[in-house]
Amino acid sequence: EAGVAQSPRYKIIEKRQSVAFWCNPISGHATLYWYQQILGQGPKLLIQFQNNGVVDDSQLPKDRFSAERLKGVDSTLKIQPAKLEDSAVYLCASSPRLAGQETQYFGPGTRLLVL
């Protein structure tokens, strides 16, 4: 079974530029998550989808971050414009169902550096 795929793996941009990350979850997984992991910290949930609907985006900085999951499969996360403090690893995860006991399967992450 293929795991969660993410691209690109690395991205370097200057502040005020825009950037987009892509995620392909495990086939058949209904729930998809985007996390931000700043160096030395644990992952912080940005947004959670159930199929193509948003379940929780309470911690997403909506003035600059946006995400979509059209057709309920792949997802993209965009930052526009980027700030220095957005430098982090962006992790995508998926799980079969929307439930607290579900294991989350993580992708390798996209490492973003904003200069």
Partner 1 sequence: SQKIEQNSEALNIQEGKTATLTCNYTNYSPAYLQWYRQDPGRGPVFLLLIRENEKEKRKERLKVTFDTTLKQSLFHITASQPADSATYLCALTRGTGANNLFFGTGTRLTVIP
Binding site for partner 1 (CB under 8 A): 4, 31, 40-45, 48, 55-56, 91, 93, 98-109
Least Å from the CB of residue 52 to partner 1: 17
Nearer to partner 1, 27 or 103 (CB): 103
Round to whole Å and give the CA distance between 19 and 58: 21
Least Å from the CB of residue 96 to partner 1: 12
Least Å from the CB of residue 81 to partner 1: 27
Nearer to partner 1, 27 or 101 (CB): 101
Nearer to partner 1, 17 or 104 (CB): 104
Least Å from the CB of residue 18 to partner 1: 24
Task: Look at residues 29, 41, 40, 18 and name the one whose alpha carbon lies nearest to residue 92.
Answer: 29
Element spanning 102, H or E: none
Task: Look at residues 38, 56, 39 and name the one whose alpha carbon lies nearest to residue 47.
Answer: 56
Nearer to partner 1, 12 or 98 (CB): 98
The CA–CA distances, whole Å, from 94 to 15, 27, 35, 75, 80 equal 30, 9, 11, 11, 24
